[in-house]
Amino acid sequence: MGLPEMSKSHPAIGQAMRFAAVGAVNTGVDIALFTIFFYGLGWPLLLANAAGFTVAVTVSFLLNKTWTFADSSRGREAMRRGAAFLAVAVGGLAIGSLAIWLAALVMPPILAKLASIGATFLWNFTVSRRWVFRAE
C-alpha cells in the first residue's frame, strides 16, 4: 500500500503529514524571529524563544484549522478550539523551553533551539488531533 492510499485509509497519516508541513512553516517563522530577537536584538534566551513561539503558534493555529484538520467551526466553537490550541501550545512551549534550556548547556543556542523542536512535535500533534480538532 503506497503512502497516498495509506493516508486515505488512515486519515491520521495524512493529517500528520500536513501537520508536519505546517510545522515546517512555523519552525521557519519561529527560528527566524528567535534569531532576530536573540542574536540581533540581544534579548534573553527564553524571552526570544517565547516571542518567536507566540507568532509561530498563531500561524500554526490558522493553517492547522483550515488545512490540516479542515475544521469549519465558527464563532464560539472556533474560539473554544483556538483557546484549546493555545493551551496545547503552551504545553509545547514548556516542553520546548525545558529542552532548549537543557540543550543550551552543552551546545550553541541556535542548535539548542533546533533540538527543542523535535521535543514538541509528538505532544502538539497528538493532543491537537485528539482534543483540539477532534471530529464531533
Domain ranges of the chain: 3-132
What cell numbers appear for 91 in the block?
Answer: 504545553
pLDDT bucket at 1, cuts 50 / 70 / 90? very low
Asked whether residue 81 carries a pLDDT value surpassing 70, the answer given is yes
- In one-letter notation, the amino acid at residue 18 is R
Asked if residue 51 lies in contact with residue 37, where contact means CB atoms within 8 angstroms, the answer is yes
What cell numbers appear for 89 in the block?
Answer: 501550545
Q: What is the phi/psi pair of residue 4, to 5°?
A: -60, -40
Q: Is 19 exposed, middle or buried (0-12, 13-18, 19+ CB in 10 A)?
A: buried
DSSP state of 124: H
What cell numbers appear for 1 in the block?
Answer: 500500500
SS3 105: coil
Give per-residue pLDDT as tens, 90-135.
898 898 889 999 999 999 998 998 888 878 887 888 888 888 887 7
CA–CA dist 24, 115 (Å, integer): 14
Q: Is 71 left (phi over 0), alpha (psi -120 to 50) or beta?
A: beta
Tell me the average pLDDT across 32-47: 95
Query: Among all chains, which residue has been given the C-alpha cell 533540538?
Result: 115
Q: Which stretches within 36-74 are classed as H helix? A: 45-63
Tell me the average pLDDT across 50-67: 90
